[in-house]
């Protein structure tokens, strides 16, 4: 099971979709929340570029940004 963005560093978007499909076994959307945003402002991941953007934001957070 995937628990955090740290586990996504070496996973492609397609692999992420397959992993979440194995968990939920139904159509679903993958989203994440930025720390400074409310839950109604979730960011969707629908391609490799979206996942790269999420990881960049994660790296900024790890470095003490935002």
Residue 63's pLDDT is: 75
pLDDT score of 42: 92
Angle (CA) 56-53-4 rounded to 5° is: 70
Q: What pTM was computed for the model?
A: 0.67
Q: Is 37 exposed, middle or buried (0-12, 13-18, 19+ CB in 10 A)?
A: exposed
Identify the CA nearest to 17 among candidates 28, 6, 9, 7.
28
Averaged in consecutive runs of 10 residues, what is the pLDDT profile of the chain (66 residues)?
A: 57 88 90 85 92 85 68
Q: Helix (H, G, I), strand (E, B), or coil: what is residue 47? A: coil
């Amino acid at each position: 099971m995937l628990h955090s963005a740290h586990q996504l560093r070496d996973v492609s978007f397609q692999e992420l979709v397959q992993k979440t499909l194995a968990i939920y076994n139904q159509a679903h959307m993958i989203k994440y929340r930025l720390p400074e945003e409310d839950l109604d402002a979730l960011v969707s991941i629908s391609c490799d570029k979206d996942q790269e953007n999420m990881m960049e934001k994660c790296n900024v957070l790890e470095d003490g940004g935002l």
